Structure 1
Amino acid sequence: MMKHLLLSIAFLLLMMSAGAQAANDGRVLLQGFYWESSHDYPGDWYSHLEGKSADMNAAGIDMIWLPPPSDAGSLEGYLPRELNNFANSYGSLAEHQSLLSTLNGLGIEAIADIVVNHRVGSTNWVDFTNPTWGTNSITGDDEVWSNSAYSGISLRGNNDSGTPYAAARDIDHSQGFVQNDIKAFLDNLKAIGYDGWRYDFVHGFDPYYFTVYNGHTNPTFSVGENWSANKQVVQDWVNATGSTAFDFSTYYTLKAVIKDNNYSYLSTQGAPSGGIGWDPRHYTTFIENHDTPDYDPGNNVLNGNNVGQSYAYLLTHPGVPCIYWPHMYEWGSAVTNEIKALIQVRKDAGIHSESPVTIHRSENGLYVASIAGDIHSVFLKMGYGNWGDPAAEGMGSTWTLAASGTNYAVWSEGGTGGGGGGGSMTVYVQGYSHAYAWDSNQNPLLGAWPGTAMTAGAGGWNEVTISADCSNVIFSNNGAGQTADLSTCNDMPYYENGTWYASEPGGGGGGSSGSMTVYAQGYTHAYAWDANLNPLLGAWPGSALGTGPNGWSEISISEDCANIIFSNNGSNQTSDLYTCSDSPYYSNGAWYATDPNGGGSTLTVYVQGYSHFYAWGDGQTYTNGWPGSTLTNNGDGWYYGVIPANCSNVIFNNNGANQTADLYTCGPTSYYANGSWSGSGSRAAIFDDNDLTIYPNPFFSQASVSFSLKTAAHVRLEVFNTSGQSMKLFDSDLAEGGHQITFHASQLPPSNAMYIVRVSVNDEQYTRKIVVK
């Protein structure tokens, strides 16, 4: 009994001294990699991160989660081999140490990805080195013992205390030597500059051992990956370890909100519905990580138009928010700037992991919450539902728009918001002659009431420049017929009929004009809106689709670019979509320039030096049996064959001899010469086909097409699936020199995993085969 009592007391002391998450944690975490980082930057990722470190610091990043630090049996690092060898596929030991030194100098805490649930051997399944372990480090019920090469080994560990992992050997953490060597491994990481730990696959062994490792190392931050949508499962692990955990419940909820536009999901009995609604101090929130694009494909719903509202939620709500690297640095400057602005909102307000949340509205199409930071409060509005601003909704008149984007706006209490109030802006209105303006300290900005007479501008607008980039404003006719107290920032300068707009209302939201007809199948209604959030097809769920050609439903929109949601009279809706008139067909999550179901196309292939061609695809042969059909002489040195399909596999041969490899191309016309395809029989000197590469291939979530131009040219990049459906990914003029175009798997038409990439340079076409894993 005394022994059990002493063990219990020791455990309680350990829990109190180690792994407990800091209270009121205001830090922001950045995931400093994605799954393909080591593929895309072979041996150079640490240096790439170091080059971004000053920008991270300026943006307000406090911690960066770095990839697994050890030598591994996989490029990504999740099959650790030599734990204490810190040179890996992300860079050399010197580059690793240089990055950590730079981060420490900037005050950015380095969080290591700790993979100690499993391990691979150095030359076989069980020979562990650096540190050296015997086979009793492997759990007694590991699958290795069923392999005939190892079944005769009697030295085995105890049975697994968690979920088995089949891709490597499960480690027995009950062994004292294993615990001691893992403690030494963590000590070595701290010695080279790491501050905290992100634990991988935490349900793989008993939670007790995390208290042992955190108790020994006292990390500044600890977070575990327990991938479960069940809040109770994750909370039980948190309770057992004192560590934070990733808030998968919030992740799934936000993805569902984006898919359904139903913001009622964000509230459960008046509290946030994720883990942060239970125990915000112990949750790290996120919207994407290195695993989710590939292992949760049904939730690949994020794009440049909707990712901002996800971060508006994470960065205004409690928990410790984690930002995904591609969102921060690879989705374009607009997304980067949105995230940076929201980080600043969080910092300025003093929002932290335990900041109180009051949910005012949570319903289909609308979410409104106020969050009390230590410095001041903020209001967040998400969705397309009708809600003006905090002042207009009776929350007082000291609120200033601090950040906004598609389907979200954030107001700060007091202050100037929207970039701090420096600089200037020009505001526009019709039907008023004067403007009176004042800042958050009640200082007049355009003189005494009724302010300054405005100047007549273009298009019937009157305009005036205010010496702040956010301001309170009253428009009037020299003091008569005045508006209510208004407020705006330089991103919303046009005022009309009680609403502020980013650009001239009626001027073609986002610069578009004219109209377009869009097509969909399986939906009855379309809801559309422009860049100023003006509805284009009436209130939700929009207008009924009409009957179009070839089984399509259609509707015309009075813009040539628009945001769109298709639904069945409000149910079974798509995510927020966006298209322009050049890609009007929507099918299976992608937009197409032409009817993707259109049939009747043919492919004509040309070649020199061969007499026969054999073609096949989609389970059928398009030519005679091997060696195929005879090619026809075109009279100019080329021989051709016609294939009744958009795309086809092809082998050229001389009546069965001297055959090519298995080839693949798409139509309508394709010439094969010198080992590759093009669109005509004469190749332009501006492009060297040998320079065209795609990496990685196969790929998981994204790949890059690289090539060089010998002179300026017009380049178009298209990807075809095996049914001939295509997606245009790039179409623009490029200058002389090297170029790289990156695309994501989520952009591609549905396929059996194989695609053809076609790069058109002026009138010449070049193709490559790619595979998505």
Structure 2
Amino acid sequence: GGDNQEDGNTDTGGENQGDGNTDTGDENQGDGNTGTGGDNQEDGNTDTGDGTQGDGNTSTGDENQGDGSTGTGDENQGDGSTGTGDENQGDGNTDTGDDNDTETKPDYEISEKSGVMLQGFNWSSAKRGAGYNKEKPSPYWYKWYDVVANRGADIGDKFAYLWCPPPSATDTASSEGYAPTELNNLNNCYGTESELKSMIQAIKPTKAIADIVVNHRAGSTSWGDFTNPTWGVVKGSNYAVICSDDEGFTGEPSLMGASSKRGAADTGDGYGAYRDLDHTNTTVQQGIVDWMNNVLKQAGFVGWRYDYVKGFAGEYVGQYNAGSNAEFSVGEYWPTAGYSSDAWGTEIKNWISATASNGGQKSKAFDFALKGAMNTVFGNKGSNIGNSDYSLLARSSNLVISQPADAVTFVDNHDTGSTQKHWYLDPVDVGTAYAFILTHPGYPCVAWQHYFTYAESGSIVDPEQYIGGSTVPGTSNTYRKHIDYLIDLRNDVGIEYDDKVSTSGTSSSCYVGEIIGNNGSLLVMIGNVTTPTREEYKGKQPIYSGTNFAIYRGNATELPEDDNSGDSGNGGSVTLTATKDVGSGYAVYFTGAFDEAENWTKAVRGTWSDGNVWKATVTITEGQSFDWKALKGSWSNETIVPITGDGWEWQPGSNNTYPSKTSTTF
């Protein structure tokens, strides 16, 4: 759940002890060991200014009257236009006027491709520690599904999908749900199966997405005994569905270690806290699809958010999507190494490509490359000092720029922010970040604690993280109204997740992005906002602005000829393929005259799929011809690694030349 840190370490929620119990203490320290301290740092609270009062109420002028409703000025006049009261006073600020008592629905049809997702929980939603007693629970336990259901009308009004927490019963020391024990049991620390189904009904027309944890499972009475379903595991005898290189075989020598019935080697990164599932095993494959179809879809879920997908080969996500006919799929691929724009973008794109291999149904991925760019530009982890190089937002390594149809964009989630605070954005710039992702293609995801107040969230501890009623810097809007306005604007202009973006005119001091929707166009400036120079927007005032952002509206129908936009497919990139049986502990890498390889000095690690096929998606300039080669190297190398020293086996013969050749065998 609290997976990757910004330093590349993995939060496993705690390691298994010799008695089969799980301690959910500190995250991995980088040496492969798991500490047993406390997950949440300090008091787990996030300082968000004075917007949230100690009693859980938020003072925001006339907004939020206590019934959970939010006024939005004179928006949506019925003619399809989005008004904001007395906007644009000349100082760049936006006044949203007096709140409306009634809301007029727009007369335009909202595109299904313009949707926005809400994360329907955070790290505090299911409490851990004192109070876990099913007979006499603390008032904070088992309440979350009811909290969400009570906000059902608010959610249904603005969001297409709700990303729900892991639905299955979990290890008692990991109440957040990321250590599932009984997959088929939908009673957990968020509530009962009945309450879950009621919540899914309450949020309609919003649809429910389940958080899928299938990289690993927790044992019931020991390290590796599975329950409901067992998948054939017999305690002390048969562990064929668990990866052969799992820690359990050495950590529990009298049970797992005594068994010769083990699965194949892990197809991804190991996860030390719980038992890594062997996704090459047909029992695991069929078991996951059966669970999705017969349990989760029957409860009302229509799609999946996959947890820790770097723990197993991407092709299996595609297989599970196809087997369950998923309406929506997104994977959490948070690269292990420290943030590197090109390396992260390449690694995530390679995973996306892998999901579509072997007949799989392609998955989207969270745009961690963009998250890294925003954190670098704006500052993160309590520092409001970023590098202010706004051109990072326009890099093709960001999915939203080069492959927007595959991108799920976000500002923070339960891992990066909330009370874990592993890699959270500078709080002052949260509003600016939403101004970016909600006006751009990709599929934006809003954090619960950025949208709702403490009181609206059931007053369930940690009040400081809830900023929905606080004011966005440079505006008179609360975060709730800010996000609502941007969603309405997105729908009004008809911005869709696979639209192109032109970043022509971007500099280190100001990001400039133009997006053309079905009903007009937007010009978005982030950073040191200047006067627009494009003819369509000259002389116009921004329709909405605040600290470090301004949004202009126009009627452009074509992007500038000199634009450097991405596209909805693989614009600016190409997938190279090599077939080779490299043996255990090795991988195929790719090098050449493409961007990531830096003129043959570095190699990009490929992603494996059945048949010993290795693929890597690399960045190129449109129309570029280049030479490349494949080579064998140690799997333990980084995703992009300098080609130095011995230990490399090069593809023999002459170079391959793109575009005439994109695959090879050696």
Q: What TM-score does the superposition give when structure 2 sets the normalisation length?
A: 0.55
**Residue aligning to 2:160:** 62
Query: Is structure 2 residue 246 aligned with structure 1 residue 138?
Result: no
> Would you say the 8 A contact 1:111–1:196 is kept in 2?
yes
**Residue aligning to 2:374:** 254
* Matched position secondary structure for 1:249: helix
Amino acid at match of 1:78: Y
Query: Is structure 2 residue 498 aligned with structure 1 residue 354?
Result: yes
Amino acid at match of 1:139: C
**Residue aligning to 1:45:** 144
* Matched position secondary structure for 1:234: helix
Q: How does 1:657-696 map to 2 (within 5 A)?
A: none
Match of 2:191 among 91, 96, 99: 91
Structure 1 regions of 5+ residues with no counterpart? 1-22, 416-773
Distance 1:316 1:272, change over 3 A: farther
Distance 1:254 1:194, change over 3 A: same
> Which of structures 1 and 2 has the larger relative contact order (alpha carbons within 8 angstroms, sep 6+)?
2
Amino acid at match of 2:349: Q
Amino acid at match of 1:311: Y
* Matched position secondary structure for 2:199: helix
Amino acid at match of 1:293: G
How many angstroms apart in 2 are the aligned matches of 1:263 and 1:317? 20
Distance 1:32 1:166, change over 3 A: same
How many angstroms apart in 2 are the aligned matches of 1:272 and 1:341? 28
Distance 1:299 1:291, change over 3 A: closer
Distance 1:271 1:139, change over 3 A: closer
How many angstroms apart in 1 are the aligned matches of 2:151 and 2:267? 40
Query: Is structure 2 residue 313 aligned with structure 1 residue 233?
Result: no
* 1:211 CA displacement: 2.0
How many angstroms apart in 1 are the aligned matches of 2:425 and 2:282? 46
> Would you say the 8 A contact 2:216–2:271 is kept in 1?
yes
Distance 1:261 1:291, change over 3 A: closer
**Residue aligning to 1:407:** 548
Distance 1:222 1:177, change over 3 A: same
* Matched position secondary structure for 1:257: helix
**Residue aligning to 1:149:** 254
> Would you say the 8 A contact 1:263–1:362 is kept in 2?
no
> Would you say the 8 A contact 1:254–1:266 is kept in 2?
no
Q: How does 1:716-755 map to 2 (within 5 A)?
A: none
Report the count of equivalent residues: 385
* 1:400 CA displacement: 5.9
* 1:155 CA displacement: 1.7
Amino acid at match of 2:553: S
Distance 1:378 1:263, change over 3 A: farther
Match of 1:183 among 265, 276, 289: 289
* 1:267 CA displacement: 4.8
* 1:356 CA displacement: 1.8
* 1:107 CA displacement: 1.6
**Which digits, 9 at most, give the CA deviation of each residue in 1:724-769, with x for residues without a partner?**
xxxxxxxxxxxxxxxxxxxxxxxxxxxxxxxxxxxxxxxxxxxxxx
Query: Is structure 2 residue 340 aligned with structure 1 residue 217?
Result: no
Query: Is structure 2 residue 494 aligned with structure 1 residue 344?
Result: no
* Matched position secondary structure for 1:25: helix
Structure 2 regions of 5+ residues with no counterpart? 1-110, 129-139, 234-238, 356-361, 380-384, 453-465, 470-477, 557-666
**Which digits, 9 at most, give the CA deviation of each residue in 1:265-320, with x for residues without a partner?**
4458x6555122221111111111111138995743432x3211000110111111
Q: Percent sequence identity over matched residues?
A: 37
Distance 1:284 1:410, change over 3 A: same
> Would you say the 8 A contact 2:181–2:219 is kept in 1?
yes
> Would you say the 8 A contact 1:250–1:285 is kept in 2?
yes
* Matched position secondary structure for 2:151: helix
Query: Is structure 2 residue 176 aligned with structure 1 residue 76?
Result: yes
How many angstroms apart in 2 are the aligned matches of 1:169 and 1:113? 18
**Residue aligning to 2:412:** 288
**Residue aligning to 1:380:** 524
Amino acid at match of 1:176: T
Amino acid at match of 2:554: E
How many angstroms apart in 2 are the aligned matches of 1:396 and 1:300? 34
Distance 1:396 1:381, change over 3 A: closer
**Residue aligning to 2:515:** 371
**Residue aligning to 1:5:** none
**Which digits, 9 at most, give the CA deviation of each residue in 1:14-70, with x for residues without a partner?**
xxxxxxxxx983221111111121129420101101111211222x21101000000
**Which digits, 9 at most, give the CA deviation of each residue in 1:654-708, with x for residues without a partner?**
xxxxxxxxxxxxxxxxxxxxxxxxxxxxxxxxxxxxxxxxxxxxxxxxxxxxxxx
> Would you say the 8 A contact 2:212–2:307 is kept in 1?
yes
* Matched position secondary structure for 1:316: coil
How many angstroms apart in 2 are the aligned matches of 1:155 and 1:295? 41
> Would you say the 8 A contact 1:208–1:240 is kept in 2?
yes
**Which digits, 9 at most, give the CA deviation of each residue in 1:492-522, with x for residues without a partner?**
xxxxxxxxxxxxxxxxxxxxxxxxxxxxxxx
**Residue aligning to 2:364:** 244
Q: How does 1:207-606 map to 2 (within 5 A)?
A: 207-228=314-335, 229=339, 230-241=344-355, 242-259=362-379, 260=385, 262=387, 264-267=389-392, 273-293=397-417, 299-303=423-427, 305-329=428-452, 330-333=466-469, 334-383=478-527, 385-388=528-531, 390=532, 394-396=535-537, 399=540, 401-413=542-554
In terms of fraction of residues, the more strand-rich structure is 1
**Residue aligning to 1:124:** 222
Amino acid at match of 1:184: D
Distance 1:413 1:122, change over 3 A: same
How many angstroms apart in 2 are the aligned matches of 1:101 and 1:24? 20
> Would you say the 8 A contact 2:168–2:186 is kept in 1?
yes
Amino acid at match of 1:338: H
* 1:195 CA displacement: 0.6
* Matched position secondary structure for 2:353: helix
Distance 1:414 1:397, change over 3 A: farther
Amino acid at match of 2:147: H
Worse-matched range after superposition: 350-359 or 257-266: 257-266
Higher radius of gyration, 1 or 2: 1
How many angstroms apart in 2 are the aligned matches of 1:25 and 1:143? 43
* Matched position secondary structure for 2:542: strand
> Would you say the 8 A contact 1:45–1:90 is kept in 2?
yes
> Would you say the 8 A contact 1:271–1:277 is kept in 2?
yes
How many angstroms apart in 2 are the aligned matches of 1:222 and 1:266? 29
The two structures, once aligned, show a CA RMSD in angstroms of: 2.4
Amino acid at match of 1:387: T
Amino acid at match of 2:488: Q
**Which digits, 9 at most, give the CA deviation of each residue in 1:331-378, with x for residues without a partner?**
032111111111111111111112221224333442222211121101
**Residue aligning to 1:201:** 308
Query: Is structure 2 residue 124 aligned with structure 1 residue 36?
Result: yes
Distance 1:207 1:299, change over 3 A: closer
Amino acid at match of 2:530: W
Q: What TM-score does the superposition give when structure 1 sets the normalisation length?
A: 0.48
Amino acid at match of 1:234: I
How many angstroms apart in 1 are the aligned matches of 2:313 and 2:445? 26
> Would you say the 8 A contact 2:142–2:191 is kept in 1?
yes
Amino acid at match of 1:138: I
